[in-house]
Amino acid sequence: MGEREVLLSSHEYERLKDELEFLTNERRREVAERIRKARGFGDLSENAEYDAAKEEQALLESQIARRRDLLKRAQVVRPEDVDSDRVNVGCAVTIVDESTGEEFTYIIVGAAHADPSRKRISYRSPVGEALYERKVGDSVRVNLPGGLVTYRIEEIKWVGGEADEAAAEEGQG
């Protein structure tokens, strides 16, 4: 896997550690038990349950390796480490499409926790990259599939903690 540094809010970092712990302890135990039971069904060359459990094990190990890699490369972004006047990981940023007047609020997150359906965009996405380190009042141009769009930054607010993120999502409509 690549050695590129990954920015995460402290909340994202802790959530990733918790996910890794769950996968390495509980899920590994569950999958190992499925494999053990499937072995009891007889000939492994024609044992669909065994094959499925081994595939699940491979997927699980891949998920564990990915999380370990992310944690190894993580740089945790804390509110005291960033300029609160600039867009960064852990911020909710409200932008306005300058041509339509439509307003959007996104939470800027690390790539591992991006979920556009929940208004969480990675700082590495086209919009996130354009907004990153910019200030209120700045306009940014983003090349999207529908064409070039210009957004103006209206508000930046730190929401690095889980409760703050949930409150910011509720206000997004």
Rounded mean pLDDT, 8-19 = 87
What pTM did the predictor assign? 0.67
**For residue 68, what are the domain limits?**
6-77
**Cβ–Cβ < 8 Å for 108, 93:** yes
Q: Do 150 and 99 fall into the same domain?
A: yes
Q: What is the 3-state secondary structure (H, E, C) of the chain?
A: CCCCCEEEEHHHHHHHHHHHHHHHHHHHHHHHHHHHHHHCCCCHHHCHHHHHHHHHHHHHHHHHHHHHHHHHHEEEECHHHCCCCECCCCEEEEEEECCCCCEEEEEEECHHHCEHHHCEEECCCHHHHHHCCCECCCEEEEEECCEEEEEEEEEEEECCCHHHHHHHHHCCC
Q: What is the CATH number of the domain that holds 163?
A: 3.10.50.30
Q: What is the CA radius of gyration of the chain?
A: 21
Rounded mean pLDDT, 138-159 = 94
pLDDT of 33 strictly over 80: yes
Both tokens of residue 162? 């889980």
Q: Do 163 and 87 fall into the same domain?
A: yes
Both tokens of residue 84? 């609160």
CA distance 63 to 31: 13
**For residue 162, what are the CA distances in angstroms to 10, 23, 97?**
10, 21, 28
Instruction: Please state which of the ranges 38-42, 67-71, 97-101 shows the lowest mean pLDDT.
Output: 38-42
| Tally of domains in the chain | 2
Q: What is the CATH number of the domain that holds 70?
A: 1.10.287.180
Q: End of a domain among 43, 77, 111?
A: 77
User: Is 1 part of any domain?
Assistant: no
Q: Do 115 and 99 fall into the same domain?
A: yes
Rounded mean pLDDT of the chain?
86
Q: Do 30 and 109 fall into the same domain?
A: no
Q: Do 25 and 91 fall into the same domain?
A: no
User: Is 35 part of any domain?
Assistant: yes
Instruction: Tell which residue, 133, 151, 154, has the closest CA to residue 142.
Output: 151
* pLDDT score, position 78: 77
Q: End of a domain among 39, 54, 77?
A: 77
